[in-house]
Structure 1
């Protein structure tokens, strides 16, 4: 009950922040409405007061929040500051489009997940030695952000090959590319998680006993699949939450009239009533998905939900593969080489005579739509992105350690289930688009995994016998924290923060792609991709260069994490063999 109350309190706090957006924004809402609706009227104090009175913005923060909540209870989502029309009809229409797209994307994800683990299930049904088969390709696909895959599909499948339409909504063909862009990363993640869990299920005593007793292999495989599903369902909820964030970029890129594209347009236009409604609906969709998946997991577990009734699946020890380490080093060296080569060039120099020029000795990666050197902008964008990602990683490390130590469980779960893009929309609604706002938006949610890790390590270490012995010997709280808790908690959480830095860089790039990050003419990988995408048919290199850089960054994240996890597995196994009698 206490945990449920914490979750509810956190949700209400987020809803309150959404409701207070008109009072939190740095611009005067009355001026925004005046410029949008009455451009010919001067901004006199009387006119602005009249607009505030008309729109209900003349009261204090609690008054504004109370009016907004009262409107929600009556189905009134307010009036658009730009068009002057009620928000509710447009939001309902956009919700139907987004639900359809999310449903198609989830179908793609489940189909891909089933395909990735099909080989492992067949081997288990035939009573062979079962190992995970999904491989590194699934891991790399899972690490690709939706906006990157959407841009590549649009540039190649729609523009270069002309197989499918690149824009619009209404026909089945127009839904294919958006559904693939959102569904493939989600399906790769689910498939890899399921494929990693199945070998542990087939290795449990019940599976070996069932096989020895003559139970058909297909039935054993079905039971193994059901054994792994409860642990996977919470991840499915997070995947649905991720779809709500991915919908913003994908709907914007493909001109899909859903909640995501509507929310982004409202954030850029400072049309806060529309932004409030879209973000609130997307947030509630994520909360509902999480609740449904938790309920489904409890239903599948049934009586085994009691403590100790069902052991946790123990994944197999991963070998420390030299190939993965070598691949990570090679990709890191490639990124460093491109960055250094780009930093030696001017990213802002415009050569109108060389617009969209092909790669040459003068311009190894070609030029963009303004005649600027793509290599130069790629290198300077890498430096900007890496430095920002490191700063955000440091901030999230401090926040994760502090909030994890105080066990902010409900707040951690809520932040972990909030996509960075939704956080970016809210920050953009308050402070407007910009690099600092994008960094703040990513930091606002990126601390949650580190906090969860800190809490787990802190709880485990506090229960260790040597802590009790130190306290019995007279050690005070500060001594225990400095000499025992901090040395045990800080190193693994620090490594975790370093491993998450590339993912933070990808999140920053996604906000830049949407126009919520660094503004022109600053070089930034996501913005480079968005700016040059309309010219992909004539000149693909300004699109493929930042897309390849982002793909390499995603692959580097996966290879590094896998190599580190493999070495940890080997070290753990070695310690176990050393301690065995």
Structure 2
């Protein structure tokens, strides 16, 4: 086993562990929090980390530890929803483009090109300025800026598979497009889909936090890692903990996604799995 091959499972395990820990503590935030995330104590403003306030307090006397935990519920929750929706859109459009070709593939490809031509931040400014910074429009922005990666990965691989002899054999045996997609194309693209989903989730979390940092994401007083970092950046010299801990949580989550995605990519480096028909040609 090469050194490179030996390192990948360790990196993947580390990434999965980071994500698992962050998800668990975020879900269990109401149980683990020592204070309410919105509770203000003007007599304890900008207190450094202590036995009472493990991560210190912010400019309103709110407990940073509790806000980091609850901020994970918001950030990771929004990321999960947007990543699933974007992945499903990319999967369906990618498979449809490869199977049907023609105008279906052309329209899907042009939509992807248009999306890539519009910076996501500009799209966010336009959408959120018209409809407000609520959760629904935020998820729409995140999905709009992230489905293209999955679409291009799935479409490219599916187009290379759809003309292989085992697919032609399935067509000749009477299989329709739906059967071909479900029984043959879907198993073939699942490894690539998994890798794309993991890496895309990292990009979505970073985008969600960036929008929060710019004031375009989840609105105060709801805790969000990006907005918490923005609120603490002006006090880095006197109260660095206000921005340090939410920033560290964000970095750990992104590193977790990236390590997991890289490990999955290495795991499937030999090529996506193929369907049973590809392994055993139809007689």
- Separation (CA, whole Å) in 2 of partners of 1:482 and 1:337: 33
Q: Summarize the Cα distance change of 1:320–1:421 in structure 2 as closer, same or farther, 3 Å threshold.
A: farther
Corresponding residue number in structure 2 for 1:52: none
Residue 534 of structure 1 and its aligned partner are, at CA, apart by 2.1
Structure with the greater relative contact order (CA < 8 A, sep ≥ 6): 1 or 2? 2
* Aligned-residue RMSD, C-alpha: 2.5
Give yes or no for contact 2:85–2:143 (8 Å, CA) kept in 1. Answer: yes
* Aligned residue among 39, 45, 52 for 1:355: 45
1:481 counterpart = 2:177: no
State whether residues 342 and 377 of structure 1, in contact with CA within 8 Å, keep that contact through their aligned partners in structure 2.
Answer: no
Q: State how far apart, in whole Å, the 2-side matches of 1:331 and 1:473 are.
A: 47
Instruction: Give the TM-score normalised by structure 1.
Output: 0.42
Q: 1:364 aligns with which of 54, 61, 76?
A: 54
CA distance in 2, matches of 1:337, 1:401: 28
The correspondence for 1:460, drawn from 131, 144, 160, is 160
CA distance in 1, matches of 2:144, 2:174: 39
2:217 is paired with a residue whose SS is coil
Q: Which residue of 2 aligns with 1:128?
A: none
Task: In structure 1, list runs of 5 or more residues that go unmatched.
Answer: 1-316, 573-581
Q: Give how far 1:357 is off.
A: 0.6
Unaligned runs of 5+ in 2: 98-104, 272-283
Deviation at 1:402, TM superposition (A): 2.7
Distance 1:337 1:458, change over 3 A: closer
Correspondence for 1:335 among 4, 22, 26: 22
Aligned partner of 1:508 in structure 2 is 208
- CA distance in structure 2 between the aligned counterparts of 1:477 and 1:337, rounded to whole angstroms: 41
Residue in structure 2 matching 1:533, options 233, 238, 255: 233
1:400 to 90, 99, 122: 90
Larger radius of gyration: 1
Residue 499 in 1 paired to residue 202 in 2? no
Within a 5 Å distance, the mapping from 1:146-295 to structure 2 comes to none
- Aligned: 1:323 with 2:23: no
Q: Deviations over 1:119-174 (max 9, x none)?
A: xxxxxxxxxxxxxxxxxxxxxxxxxxxxxxxxxxxxxxxxxxxxxxxxxxxxxxxx
- Give the secondary-structure state (helix, strand or coil) at the position aligned to 1:349: coil
C-alpha contact 1:341 1:375 (8 A) present in aligned 2: no
Question: Cα offset for 1:492?
Answer: 2.9
For residue 543 of structure 1, what is the aligned residue in structure 2? Answer: 243
* Number of equivalent positions: 258
Note the 1:107-146 alignment, pairs <5 A.
none
CA distance in 2 between partners of 1:341 and 1:473 (Å): 52
1:434–1:516 contact (8 Å) kept in structure 2: no
1:278-328 Cα offsets, whole Å, 9 max, x none, are xxxxxxxxxxxxxxxxxxxxxxxxxxxxxxxxxxxxxxx962514313432
Q: TM-score, normalised by structure 2?
A: 0.82
Number of the residue aligned with 1:375: 65
Q: Aligned in 2, Cα 1:485/1:336: closer, same or farther, shift over 3 Å?
A: closer
Q: Distance in 1 between matches of 2:88 and 2:27?
A: 30
Is the CA contact (8 Å cut-off) linking 1:397 and 1:494 kept in structure 2? no
